[in-house]
Amino acid sequence: MLSTHHVSDANKLIKDLTDLEFRSGASPIDSQKLIAHYMSALDAEVTFHKFYPQFDQFHPLHFFTSPNSGIISENATCSSFGINTVGIIRAPCGDGKEASVLVTPYNPNKVGLGEAFSLGIAYSVFSLLSRVTWLAKDIVWLVADSQYGEYSGVAAWLRAYQAPSIQRLDIVNSETCNGSSIFNELGQGLYLDGKLYGGFRHAGTMAAALVIKVAEQGNQYEDSLNIYAEASNGQMPNLDLINIVNYLAVHKQGLRIKVKKMWSLLGSRWLYTLGVIFESLGKISRSLNPQWKFGIPATEYVEGAATLASSLYYQGLGVPTGPHGAFRDYQVDAITLEISPKVSLTKMIRRNEFILRGGRLIEGVIRSINNLLEKFHQSFFLYLLTSPSKFVSVGVYMIPFALLVAPLPIVAAYLHVNASDSTPQTTSALEVNASPKSWKWLNSARKVLVIHLWGAVISLLPFFLCQVPNTTPTMNFVLWGLLSAFSLLILYMILGSPIFEAAASRPEKNKWASLKSVTISTAFIGLSLMSVINFATAEIGALHIVPICLMARPLKLDFQARSWRTLLRASCNIALGFIVFPPVAFVLLKGAFEDFYGMNFGDYWNWVESLWVWNSATYLYVGVVHLPCWALCIHILFHPC
């Protein structure tokens, strides 16, 4: 139903917004006033939502809360706030219990051409929906202030919408801020018309949300649509939402759908060679039986592998890829749609076609959501994308993970039995009764507990390092390493860490197998728990830590044997011990996927900092599971047996 009439209205809004950028004396609130007036002209309920920049520093007591969980910056002042503009259309056929949300991030201090077009597309759809009679769900248009980041404004509005509460700095310096007339000036014109609603306005329960963005850099081949779906800790929206967007964009609007890929893998010769092998096997299988159709072209295999690696990486990272991530924290299905035009949008004919195509896509998605009798629930929430229309479900990708970690408990049980059988018998019956063989593993468990406590301690160290002023990422990384070594020394002095034992008794020299058994058991438990929280992190972690856990064996024994097999195993253990160390693994992976040029130690600190800012469970896994298991394996390699 979206017509050229709605496109002309969108063009008028775009023109007015771009003219403000070149008008002398124009202030940021002028664009917000303009958007609010356009909303009120459609008889929508218009409100303004004021929020303050959030405190994104690492804090251990707030780690298990959602990102930017209302911790307002201590430097917040009357002038350092953002303002979201919200318009609500009440559904004529609904009961007000459900709603769909459109989100358009924009920076009022500098409205770019892409932001102006995203506002224009959203307005064209909003103007259409304000006049239709079939609407069964309320429509909320959130124009999110992105001067402090695209995520911040959306998250602040959602907190007020879902869990309203009086924040400690909800009104910063209320006595002095009352004199500031910026917020009052913003709604003064609408108050005169009687169209601005006071307070915070609510609609129904959110059924789904769409974040609309337009890329300023166009695509030279065709109009394309980028879909961003990853949220915090690997959460994904219901697959049906992506399927709806994919079907309407491809079959109705002729857009090319794209999802993130590991671009370094697209030019990989070894991956293409592997694809050619699979393609040849597929041809052979079809020649034997035409019903066997598991072979795919090599190029499609390479693209699928690059997309799968990207999906696994961004889910494992645990950091949202867009403002839609804020909705997943409240179990609302949401994705970010970034539309890239074919050519420059300065040409009017091309501009009208682009707005019409983008608006009709959003209209189709809203129609699909509007027709739902209940929320999406019967499709997948746990999946890895291999293309916009293909995926790997949880029932498939859990199989290789289970096969990868299955040897851990088996080897742990075998080592425990062997360690118990090889324990030297004591001559005193009283000593035997006081220390049964079945409890010998407690000494190893104590040592493993010490190392994991050390991992928890160094995971908390960044909180104190962030208090040091005027430090660089490289300096923070070096201080972190020194403090980590110092904390390990302190734990040794208090609890008796095994790493610094100068001499071990003869019975203790044969305890490396028991220590390895407990280490493997804790690695298995940590990976299993992590697979529930974030499968992608558990999968990537298992690929790193499982080989060294299974192969770890004292180097002294291998060198004494002096056979090619033991020397090869010792060489592999040394190499794995170097590669699995988290900073080294980070550098190698980043260099493989990007480039080694310009890389320094501060990059690892920046990566870790991005994890704790978003409260990613990957940060806890690296500090509490991966690093302690690596340290224990290194201790086993240098065990004085």
> Is 64 inside a domain boundary?
no
Q: pLDDT grade, residue 78 (50/70/90)?
A: low
The verdict on residue 429 lying in a domain is: no
Instruction: Name the least confident of 31-40, 51-60, 241-250.
Output: 51-60
For residue 425, tell me if it sits in a domain.
no
Specify which of 108-122, 193-207, 379-393, 524-538 reaches the highest per-range mean pLDDT: 524-538
Q: In this prediction, what percent of the chain has a pLDDT beyond 90? A: 39
Whether 511 contacts 443, CB under 8 Å: yes
Q: How confident is the model at residue 525 (pLDDT cuts 50, 70, 90)?
A: very high
Give the Cα separation of 13 and 7 in Å (integer): 10
Q: Which whole number is the average pLDDT over 526-541?
A: 93
Q: Does 263 score more than 90 pLDDT?
A: no
Of 464 and 326, the one with more pLDDT: 326
Whether residues 212 and 187 share a domain: the answer is: yes
Asked whether the beta carbons of 510 and 554 are under 8 A apart, the reply is: no
Q: What is the mean pLDDT of residues 447-461?
A: 90
The better pLDDT of the pair 418, 145 is held by 145
Q: What percent of the chain has pLDDT over 70?
A: 81
Mean pLDDT score across all residues of the chain: 82
Render pLDDT for 153-168 as a digit per residue (tens, 0 to 9).
999 999 889 876 544 4
- For the stretch 218-240, pLDDT in tens is 666 678 899 999 998 889 999 99
Q: Count of CB atoms within 10 A of residue 610's CB?
A: 14
The H or E element spanning position 518 is helix 512-533
Crossing angle of helices 348-370 and 4-22, rounded to 10°: 120
Side-chain-side CA neighbours of residue 582 (13 Å): 23
- Please list, in sequence order, all residues whose beta carbon lies within 8 angstroms of the beta carbon of residue 34, skipping any fewer than 6 positions away: 13, 16, 17, 20
Q: What is the mean pLDDT of residues 231-256?
A: 92
Residues 310 and 206 occupy one common structural domain: no
Same domain for 459 and 574? yes
More confident residue, 362 or 351: 362
Considering the domain boundaries, does residue 68 fall inside one?
A: no
Per-residue confidence band for 187, with pLDDT thresholds at 50, 70 and 90: low
pTM comes to 0.85
Do 306 and 330 share a domain, yes or no? no
Same domain, 154 and 249: yes
For the stretch 578-601, pLDDT in tens is 999 999 988 888 777 666 676 777
Domain of 290, in residue numbers: 260-275+283-318
> How far does Cα 602 stand from its chain's mean position?
21
- In a shared domain, residues 353 and 415: no
User: How many structural domains is the chain composed of?
Assistant: 3
Question: In angstroms, what CA-CA distances link 355 with 7, 334, 341, 467, 572?
Answer: 6, 22, 10, 48, 58
Residue 170 forms part of a structural domain:
no
Please determine, for residue 172, whether its predicted confidence score (pLDDT) is greater than 60. Answer: no
* Backbone phi, psi, residue 205, to 5°: -65, 135
pLDDT at 399 over 80: yes
Same domain, 196 and 129: yes
pLDDT of residue 118: 94
The pLDDT of residue 469: 83
pLDDT band at 349 (very low <50, low <70, confident <90, very high): confident
Q: Which of 91-95, 405-409, 593-597 has the lowest mean pLDDT?
A: 593-597
- How far, in Å, are 144, 203, 255 from residue 366 at the CA level? 19, 16, 18
* pLDDT digit string, tens, across residues 620-640: 999 999 999 999 999 999 888
In this predicted structure, what is the pLDDT of residue 443? Answer: 81
| pLDDT recorded at residue 373 | 78
Closest CA to 49 of 150, 158, 174, 138: 158
Same-domain check for residues 156 and 100 = yes
Computed on alpha carbons and rounded to an integer, the radius of gyration of the chain in Å comes to 29
Do residues 457 and 403 share a domain? yes
| 427 pLDDT above the threshold of 50 | no
Q: Is residue 66 part of a domain?
A: no
Which pLDDT belongs to residue 433? Answer: 45
| 200 has a pLDDT exceeding 90 | no
Q: Looking at the domain assignment, is residue 223 inside a domain?
A: yes
Tell me the average pLDDT across 326-335: 92
Question: Do 409 and 269 share a structural domain?
Answer: no
Strands 205-214 and 138-145: unpaired
Please check whether residues 18 and 42 belong to one and the same domain: yes
Distance (Å, whole) CA 337 – CA 248: 13
pLDDT (0 to 100) of residue 376? 78
- DSSP states of 89-154: E--TTS-SSEEEEEEEEE-TTS--HHHHHHHHHHHHHHHHHTT-S---SEEEEEEEE-TT-HHHHH
Residue 351 confidence (pLDDT): 84
Judged against a pLDDT cut of 80, whether residue 75 lies above it is answered with no
Position 424 scores a pLDDT of 52
CA distances from 265 to 89, 93, 304, 313, 319 (A): 46, 50, 10, 13, 22
Q: Which helix (H) or strand (E) holds 214?
A: strand 205-214
Q: Residue ranges of the alpha helices (H) in 371-467?
A: 394-405, 407-421, 429-434, 441-465
Name residue 196's beta-bridge partners.
Answer: 46
Check whether residue 557 and residue 414 sit in a common domain.
Answer: yes
Q: What is the pLDDT of residue 50?
A: 87
CB 158 within 8 A of CB 108: no
Helix (H, G, I), strand (E, B) or coil at 325: helix
pLDDT tens per residue across span 9-18 = 999 999 988 8
Give the C-alpha distances (Å, rounded to integers) separating 266 from 185, 272, 277, 602: 53, 8, 17, 28
Give pLDDT, residue 55: 59
Structural domain contains residue 65: no
- DSSP secondary structure code for residue 209 in this structure: E
Query: 577 or 62: whose pLDDT is higher?
Result: 577
CATH number of the domain that 383 lies in? 3.40.630.10
